[in-house]
Every structure is written in C-alpha cells, then in structure tokens.
C-alpha cells in the first residue's frame, strides 16, 4: 500500500506547526536525555553524508539542531549548516544553542517546511533529516524537493521510525486500545507512517532517487531513572499526549498509567531504572 494523502494538508500542516510551537519548551527540557539515546542515529546520518570543510548542508525538521550541529563542526572553514524547522520556537532554540556552542560562524537557523526547501537548484552538498519525512502530508514531494536542491552526487541521509511493534517505548497504542484516541489509518502522517522499508524505497523511486539507496534498521535504547521519570519525559516530548492526558478523568488517567506501567515492567532494571528498546530505519541515497 502506498502513502495515503490526507484531505486537507494545509490544515494538517498548520496544526502540526502549532503543536511543535507549543511543545518546544518541553522538548528542549527533554532533549539531552533523548539525544543521549538517539546518538547512534545521528552518528549514522552524519557518517552517511561525510561532511567536508566548505560544504553547505541543510538539516530539515531540525528542532534544536542535535544532529546538524555535530555535522557543522566538520564544515569549517568556509562551510554552512542551514538548521531549519517549521516551528519558529524550534528555530529560536537552535539559534540559542548555536550561540552557546560557538557555532554562529557556520550555523544559520531559519524557518522552513520539509516539503518546500528554500534553496536554489543544485546548490547544496547534503541534506539531513532525523524523524521528519514521516510527519509531513506529502513525503514524496519532500523527497523530490530535497533531490532538487542537491548538487549532482550530493547526499541525503534521514531516519524514520520502524513499525510500532518494534518501538515499545511509544504509548500511542495503549491510548487507542483503551478508547482514549482514534486509530490512525496506516501510511498517513505520523511517527510510524514510513516504517515499511518497501514504502520508503517506493517513495524514493517516485521522487527520482535511484543511486546508492541504503535502508537499514538501527537499534538503540531509551533510558530513564524510573517509570515515573519516563512518563514525565514523554509528556514533555509529546504535546499531543499531554493534551489527551489532560482531558482524561482521574480514573481514566490511572487506567492509562497502569497499562503503560504494565507494558514497561519487562524493561525495569534491578535498580528500578528503565532501558527500553527502540528501532529506527536509517536511509541514505545519492542525487
């Protein structure tokens, strides 16, 4: 089954931007713990583009710039990283981090949508996107736009989530099972929309990518001091989860927490901390 377009993509984009704007502060609070876990994904993506001094690299859906900023250090002298996000609050967070890290000479943070890359044709050496393409209404257009801006031989490297069954850290399934959220049709925008490698390859081909395509799973581990700490981190990272929980009655809230804690019990370590497996699909190709 191919990717299913949604009926009103503009409304979807506006709502998505709003969620990320509102959730930027919480995400910033949780970013260090998230990045520690996801560092293997960032490492893979950076190795796939192999950034060089003097190059221009764009990171799409960059948030506060965790992956792109690591690549930026390798672009000196004379290179540039465009750290982009559709949410202005995320762009501001990236600007602040660039200043704190002394990267202002090489990093430019600006608002940009994944589906409309604000760069000239064949003007960019590489594009990074960690967990962005699966959230947009039209990933084929986004991938085509990425290819347009890349120079011949330029590289794309991105990550999406593997299927939900391979990511037990995600609480969304429990919300649906308990009747607190609606089922999302398969292959519509969402965390696991591009979890099928065959679908990813189909979209790449449709967008004009044919050379050096690599798609592989990459496992890593989320950690937290306790189930309670993990729950609070999830509320920080996901404004949609926070909103759903806020609407629950106390009884339903406890029901959800009991279900989530039961799911997490097998990942509790001897010291009470959590170690929860996660799986991404990491992808690279050459323009």
DSSP code per residue over 170-197: --HHHHHHTTSSPPPPTTSSSTTTT--H
Going by pLDDT thresholds of 50, 70 and 90, the confidence category of residue 160 is very high
- The domain at 9-165+189-219+279-286 falls in which architecture? 3-Layer(aba) Sandwich (3.40)
Q: What's the confidence (pLDDT) of residue 188?
A: 79
pLDDT, tens digit, for every residue of 60-110?
999 999 999 999 999 999 999 999 999 999 999 999 999 999 999 999 999
Going by pLDDT thresholds of 50, 70 and 90, the confidence category of residue 129 is very high
* Global pTM exceeds 0.75: yes
Judged against a pLDDT cut of 90, whether residue 184 lies above it is answered with no
Task: Enumerate the domain spans of the chain.
Answer: 9-165+189-219+279-286
Please give the mean pLDDT across all residues of the chain: 91
Judged against a pLDDT cut of 70, whether residue 186 lies above it is answered with no
Going by pLDDT thresholds of 50, 70 and 90, the confidence category of residue 29 is confident
In whole angstroms, how far apart are CA 230 and each of 46, 194, 236, 268, 284?
28, 25, 10, 11, 31
Judged against a pLDDT cut of 80, whether residue 20 lies above it is answered with no
Judged against a pLDDT cut of 50, whether residue 1 lies above it is answered with no
Asked if 1 and 68 count as a contact pair (C-beta separation under 8 A), the reply is no
Sheet holding 80-85, edge to edge: 107-111, 80-85, 56-59, 124-130, 150-161, 274-286, 211-224
Asked if 94 and 107 count as a contact pair (C-beta separation under 8 A), the reply is yes
Give helix then strand counts, H and E, for the chain.
9, 7
């Amino acid at each position: 089954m191919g990717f299913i377009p949604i009926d009103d993509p503009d409304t979807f984009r506006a709502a998505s931007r709003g969620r990320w704007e509102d959730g930027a502060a919480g995400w910033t609070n949780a970013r260090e713990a998230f990045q520690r876990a996801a560092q293997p994904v960032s490492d893979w993506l950076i190795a796939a583009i192999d950034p060089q001094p003097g190059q221009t690299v764009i990171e799409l859906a960059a948030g506060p710039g965790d992956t792109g900023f690591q690549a930026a250090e390798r672009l000196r002298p004379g290179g540039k990283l465009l750290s982009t996000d559709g949410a202005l609050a995320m762009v501001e967070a990236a600007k602040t981090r660039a200043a704190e890290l002394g990267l202002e000479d090489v990093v430019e943070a600006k608002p940009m949508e994944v589906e409309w890359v604000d760069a000239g044709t064949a003007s960019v050496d590489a594009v990074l996107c960690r967990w962005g393409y699966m959230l947009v209404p039209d990933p084929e257009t986004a991938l085509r736009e990425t290819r347009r801006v890349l120079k011949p031989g330029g590289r794309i490297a991105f990550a999406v989530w593997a299927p939900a069954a391979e990511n037990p850290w995600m609480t969304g399934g429990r919300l649906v099972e308990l009747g607190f959220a609606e089922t999302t049709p398969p292959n519509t925008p969402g965390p696991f929309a591009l979890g099928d490698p065959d679908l990813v390859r189909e979209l790449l081909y449709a967008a004009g990518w044919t050379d050096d395509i690599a798609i592989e799973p990459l496992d890593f581990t989320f950690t937290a001091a306790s189930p309670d700490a993990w729950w609070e981190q999830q509320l920080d990272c996901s404004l949609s989860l926070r909103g759903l929980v806020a609407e629950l009655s106390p009884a339903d809230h406890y029901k959800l927490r009991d279900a989530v804690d039961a799911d997490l019990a097998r990942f509790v370590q001897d010291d009470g901390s959590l170690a929860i497996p996660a799986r991404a699909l990491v992808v690279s190709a050459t323009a």
